[in-house]
Amino acid sequence: MATESNVASTSRSWRSVATVAGWQTAASLCYYTIFAATGFVRDAFTLSESLVGVFLTAALLGYTVMLFPSGAAVDGFGEKRLMVVGLAALAVAAVGVSLAPSYGLLLGAGAVLGAAYSTAMPASNRAIVASSPPGRQGLAMGLKQVGVTAGSGVASLLITGVAAVAAWRIGFWVVAALAGGYALGFVALYDGSSGSGEFSLPDLSGLWDNRAYVLLVAAGLFVGASIFSMLGYTVLYVQDAVGASAAAGGIVLALTQVTGSVGRIGAGSLADRLGGAKGAATVALGQLAFAVVLFGVLAGGSWSLPVAVVLFVGLGLSIHGSTGVFYSCLSELVDSDDIGGATAGGQTAINTGGLVAPPLFGLLVETSGYGLGWGLLTVTALIATVLFAGVLWRLQT
């Protein structure tokens, strides 16, 4: 009887993990539409590459500014309420981006979209900590993080696919409808955990005394710089430097998300085998070192479409596949009651890198070409690798 009860409990846990992963997919589908639509936005509003970067930065700024309030709300009121409200807001904001009549209003709509997405990481990470079976948190976190790459990959195919047969803006409406539908289903499928009952911004003084956490957050700054720059300019690189179509660029971006999903699952499972925060930090260190090599190869020459595909697939496995073990490591370093605030700190660092790097990447492309832009990401990935080595050293001493 005890064995049957344990099996049933484990089965319920994995169902909850799957439900949360589905929510993360729907939320990321909404947010990452803007990365898939960079080529269409550039043409529709007659923008330079750096102004495309400013648009992405506006969305990321809204995301970043609202992270700590979202984290506080998750810790205070539980994750389910925030997940339902957040997904509904993302659906509305996606429609708002598609209807923006001017560049100024487009920036505002992007910022609202980002603010709605700020609920994602604090809420979903808390949900995984509450739902995952014992000893399988790394895999569960990796599966949840697959929702990010899966949502981004579907957005890449959907936006470019719809644009091939109709107006690109219609793709945003389809995304909004899918997200709204999942929000309704999520209400019935997920129970959630309770919060403290009070809304208060997290006290970070205890977290900053945790040196391993501080080094992890610092690494997140450079991981974010690498990931968001790559996301923002993959489609444009395939169009401008490789000479392929926007649809081909969308496929390449989608492939990076597919392999990113594979990387997150594999990395999470391996981290569980190695055990705890040390295991997660070790796996992330290897992934980031591999990304340094791949960015360096991209920076070193001009490549045909097949070679570019191979390189971006590798970057999906490495840099995009590293965020699952990043959050798995983070959740092992802090108390479960502080997950919302600690996640907000980690995601704020990732987003800050994303705020600064894409416009700089675009400026380097305009002035010197893509080689120097990829060189910038080689450096940011290298710094992240060194900082993860510091996290591992701290955990071993």
pLDDT digits (tens, 9 = 90+) for 279-303: 888 999 999 999 999 999 999 888 8
Residue 340 has pLDDT above 80, yes or no: no
C-alpha to C-alpha distance for 294 and 312, rounded to whole angstroms = 8
**Nearest to residue 341, comparing CAs of 210, 153, 202, 248?**
202
pLDDT digits (tens, 9 = 90+) for 188-226: 888 766 665 565 666 666 667 788 889 999 999 999 999
Give the pLDDT score at 88: 94
Cα 249-252-257 angle, rounded to 5 deg: 130
| Highest mean pLDDT: which range of 30-44, 217-231, 264-278, 332-346 | 217-231
What integer is the mean pLDDT of 28-47?
87
* Residue 78 · residue 195 · CB < 8 Å: yes
Q: Using only the alpha carbons of the chain, give its radius of gyration.
A: 20
pLDDT digits (tens, 9 = 90+) for 153-179: 788 788 888 887 778 889 899 999 999
C-alpha to C-alpha distance for 325 and 143, rounded to whole angstroms = 11
Q: pTM of the prediction?
A: 0.75
The domains found in the chain, sorted by start residue, are 10-190+205-396 (1.20.1250.20)
User: Mean pLDDT across the chain, nearest whole number?
Assistant: 85
Tell how far CA 261 is from the center of its chain: 11
C-alpha to C-alpha distance for 40 and 37, rounded to whole angstroms = 5
Give the pLDDT score at 197: 59
Give the pLDDT score at 286: 94
Cβ neighbours of residue 309 closer than 8 Å, sequence gap 6 or more? 252, 255
* Residue 210 · residue 333 · CB < 8 Å: yes
**Nearest to residue 226, comparing CAs of 346, 316, 125, 324?**
316
What burial class does residue 372 get, using C-beta atoms within 10 Å of its C-beta: 0-12 exposed, 13-18 middle, 19+ buried? middle
